[in-house]
Structure 1
Amino acid sequence: MTDLTASRQERASALAVDTYRAIWRWHFYAGLLAVPFMILLAVTGSLYLFRDEIDHTAFASRTVVTEEATPQQAPSALIARAQTLYPDARVKAYRPPIGPTASARVTFATDAGAAYVFVNPYTGAVLDTMLKTQEFNEVVRKLHSLEYFGAYANRVIEAMAGFAIILVVSGLYLWWPRRQTGGVLTVRGTPSRRVFWRDTHAVTGAIAGGFIAFLALSGLPWSSFWGGKLTELTVATGTGYPAALWDNVPTSSEHAQHAMQTVGWTMEASPMPMPMSHDAMDAPLGIDRIVEIARARGMAPGYEVTFPGDATGVFTAAVYPDDLAQVRTIHIDQFSGQPLVDIGYADYGPVAKVTEFAINVHMGQEFGLANQLLMLATCLAIILSSVAAVVMWLKRRPSGRLGVPPYPTSRRVYGVLWGMAVAFGVLFPLTGLLIVAMIALDVLLIRRVPALKRAFA
């Protein structure tokens, strides 16, 4: 019985070692692929958290004005002043000043793309103009989503979000205390030693792991594939925007994502209304009247009015402030001024509400400065853990080799890996495809080709 017990303990110990090796190897491959993207997302995300603060300091010359005793000029007058810079361009949107010391912004549709003109609301003086693609926060946003690198690059970010969750889960398994005296909540050694960077990587990841996973999950609704499927699900189940509000309103084939200048995640897939029947001689209302209607209906400061694209379009006033309760979208008939659809956060379905809340926290908006600092700390933890992982790897790997952790000795472990790959593939399809490719490459190619096996050892 003693021999049998010892044999069982040896087998259990061998299985534990093999499992550790397999997960360590998987963690290494996932990190090798994800670390560059994780650092990029963390750096750009940190900047985007403070986009308003950056606008009001670094770019105060175009966003901040001196409050004057004279009343602000009418929107139509400000737009006319801005139009002198783009006389042949169509006015796309107008954003009234958010406060008495804020500028107004007019957006034009030009041949080079959307162009911003910032105007002093008291004097009508043009403060600055630029293409939307040149605006600092827009550059940061496009870098964050890899939009500069084409539509398919966004799917890379989506796959990396799944890898971030894998890194958190597998990292927690590797970090879990196994009789070691350090490296759990303390960092051993000095920067010259590998153990210092190992502990820095492990402890930082363990403490911030939950927040890192949250950032990855809450960023997925913006992704092209996963986010698109979530949108389809909410529309099909009625848990997104309340489609019933459009039942008695004529709609076009265009969706808000393409027609509106400002649109939130929930409203992207909603159809654009069309004006109600009217006399052919009716003239469309001007922007001054539309702004009055928006104010009268209690739109929160910071809203933007998107102009109709043609005679079959509508004005749309939309605002997405820090306070989710004030999120609002109003489609206004351009001829009668009648609000066709008026929808706020309270009208959203349950899935949309949860998703928008997560997005709001992700963007650092929900709990004020505390929310910004918490997300900033998470971004800094991602950077620190990633840099520590690279330094630890460079100190560990043999000269001229990649230094991949060793294979498990038992093939039984690979069944668990394939099972996990299937599970992740169901939840995150693009990540699952990369996992399958990664395991297949490792098992079928690297393990069987001596030259590759030596290079990866």
Structure 2
Amino acid sequence: MSTSARPGWFRAFWRWHFYAAFLVVPVLLVLATTGLIYLFRFQLEPLMHADLLRVDQPADVDITQPYAVQQAAVERELPDSTVVAMTEPGGPDESTRFSVVRADGSGHDVYVDPWRADVLGSLDPDTTLSGTAVRLHADLMSGVWGDRLIELAACWAIVMALTGYFLFFKGRAARRRSRAPGARLRSRHAAVGSVVGLGLLLLLVSGLPWTGFWGAQAQQLATDRGGSLWSTDPGAISDPTSTLDESLPHSHAREVPWGMGKSEVPGGRGSASGESAGDGSRANVDTAVAVADREGLRHPVTVALPEADDGVFSVIGYAFDAPSQERTVHVDRFGGDVVSSYGFSDYPVLAKVVSQGIGLHEGRSLGLWSFWGAALMCVAVITSCVSGLTMWWRRRPAGSVGAPRGRMPVRSSPVLLGGLVVLGVLLPFFGLSLALVLALDLLVVRRVPWLSERLNAA
């Protein structure tokens, strides 16, 4: 590249970095803030709902009540609700959580004192602080349109990070010499961005599997064509319309490991042999927990209860801090036998990679290192967004948005063109939106003097 060409490249990348920020920064601020709240949910929620989440062990009691007894207490308290899942307490001072679906279809969490089997109360998980943060983080509480906007912003955030690195390395000398107003803020923005960039790219790529379009395609690729054990398990009677993530209320879908989220839930062997509720032994939630313990699942487990007579107890082992130990055991509701199991070792390669990436995204794969790393990354992203907005606000001229002038030298650079094509294929939302932006820039912005002047497109 000749020396004379460098300023054109620099301004072109600066222009795309600038315009990407208009879409990306508002979304990143929401994602980083809600992500920070979600990271600290285990510290915040017990403080806000101590009467439900915390219990005191009686001085004269050393044994907790069976889970079946606790479940019966919930069913007596809420006779019109259906218990769909149970999560064990994580410690002696924690309550047992039962997920229920009420007659109107809404999901609630009911908390039970495991020592006395007393119902403490209930919460709508969607209305808690962390629940609201999750809903905003997932789709801006706007359904499909919010999910699509986040996916689009994530694609352009990758572009913003890549162009930011180009600007960082090419503009080092200019930043050192500059004495212009705002130079110090610009240097700080560049320094923070140079650290944030790689972490942001990791968070964006690891978060894409949750998106409605890209994530759905990735999960289908990762779990189809034999990726699910149920397609080859001769002891399972699978209902093609019943999947593991549908065994829990929508609010609890995140408790299901990503790699098995679309795996079909097998039916019980007892139902296939003609047994019914009145024939032979009938297992309960305690049986399921005991069987899972014998199978080596880590505690505290979550148990999805059978939905029908031929259903099974799906016991999900605790793998919060170790995605490689994700495993679910399906227990027959009649004889208590293991119908089948599915875990990380059964995942195809893509599902293993994504599961580990999600663990890093949530700050839980590497203990406190990843937790505090994710927390600091959220703070750094917020700082970078605010400093970028401040720089723009200070330098914007009257009557213009203050966009840098310059065009991407796509025609003269096959490497750049190839990179854009690859990104467009891997990230369809980016490819489609890029084509739209280029068309608008060429056919509208540069041909309408008023727009061209204000957007510095000349």
Same-fold call, TM cutoff 0.5: yes
Q: Could you tell me which residue of structure 2 aligns to residue 131 of structure 1? A: 124
Is 1:361 the counterpart of 2:360 in the alignment?
yes
Question: Which runs of 5 or more residues in structure 1 are unaligned?
Answer: 1-10
Distance in 1 (CA, whole Å) between partners of 2:85 and 2:410 is 61
In the TM superposition, what is the alpha-carbon distance from 1:243 to its structure 2 partner? 5.1
Q: Residues 180-259 of structure 1 correspond to what in structure 2 (within 5 A)?
A: 180=173, 182=175, 193-236=181-224, 238=226, 240-242=227-229, 246-253=233-240, 254-259=242-247
1:279 pairs, out of 274, 282, 303, with 274
Q: Which amino acid aligns with 1:28?
A: F
The answer to whether the 8 Å contact 2:206/2:357 transfers is yes
> How many Å apart are 1:405 and its aligned residue?
0.9
Shift in Å at residue 411 of structure 1?
A: 7.9
The separation in 2 between residues aligned to 1:151 and 1:183, in whole angstroms, is 46
Q: Deviations over 1:34-89 (max 9, x none)?
A: 10001111111111112222233333332221233411111122122222442111
SS in 2 for 1:300: coil
The residue aligned with 1:5 is none
Distance 1:89 1:281, change over 3 A: same
State yes or no: 1:27 paired with 2:17: yes
Q: Which residue of 1 aligns with 2:156?
A: 163
- Larger displacement relative to structure 2 (373-382 or 81-90): 81-90
What is the distance in 2 between the residues matched to 1:420 and 1:119? 55
Aligned to 2:97: 105
The CA distance in 1 between the partners of 2:77 and 2:291, in whole Å, is 28
- TM-score w.r.t. structure 2 length? 0.89
Match 2:107 to one of 104, 107, 114? 114
What residue number does 2:381 align with? 382
Contact conserved, 1:425 with 1:431, CA < 8 A, in 2?
yes
2:98–2:109 CA contact under 8 A, matched in 1: yes
Distance 1:448 1:413, change over 3 A: farther
Range with greater deviation from structure 2 (50-59 or 158-167): 50-59
Deviates more, 1:344-353 or 1:16-25: 344-353
1:345 maps to 344
3-state DSSP class of the match of 2:354? helix
How large is the RMSD of aligned CA atoms in angstroms? 2.5
Deviation of 1:305 (Å)? 0.8
8 A Cα contact 1:22 1:413, kept in partner: no
* Structure 1 position 245, deviation (Å): 5.2
- Go from structure 1 to structure 2 and tell me whether the alpha carbon gap of 1:88 and 1:407 turns closer, same or farther (over 3 Å shift): same
1:395: Cα distance to partner? 1.1
Paired residue type of 2:284: G
Once the two structures are superposed, the pairs formed by residues 297-336 of structure 1 within 5 Å of their partners are: 297-319=295-317, 320-336=319-335
Cα distance in 2, alignment partners of residues 414 and 103 from structure 1: 62
Distance 1:108 1:183, change over 3 A: farther
Q: For residue 278 of structure 1, what is the amino acid of its counterpart? A: S
Provide the rounded CA distance (Å) in 2 between the counterparts of 1:102 and 1:409: 57
- SS state of the match for residue 173, structure 2? coil
Tell me which residue corresponds to 2:294: 296
Query: Are residues 326 and 100 of structure 1, via their aligned partners in 2, closer, same or farther at CA, if it must alter by over 3 Å?
Result: farther
TM-fit CA distance, 1:118: 0.7
Identity %: 30
Aligned partners of 1:237 and 1:202: how far apart in 2? 46
Q: Write the distance in 1 (CA, Å) between the matches of 2:175 and 2:424.
A: 35
Is contact 1:245-1:341 (8 Å) kept? no
Distance 2:304 2:408 in 1: 63
Aligned partner letter, 1:92: V
Instruction: Pick closer, same or farther for the CA change 1:413–1:397 going to 2, 3 Å.
Output: farther
What is the match of residue 7 of structure 1?
none
Kindly state the Cα deviation for residue 183 of structure 1 after the two structures are TM-superposed.
5.6
Deviates more, 1:277-286 or 1:256-265: 277-286
Deviations 1:135-170 (A, max 9, x none): 332221111012520123212212222112111110
Normalized against structure 1, the TM-score is what? 0.89
1:385-442 Cα offsets, whole Å, 9 max, x none, are 1111111111111113211111349784587765443221111111221222222222
The answer to whether the 8 A contact 2:316-2:329 is kept is: yes
1:43 corresponds, among 7, 14, 33, to 33
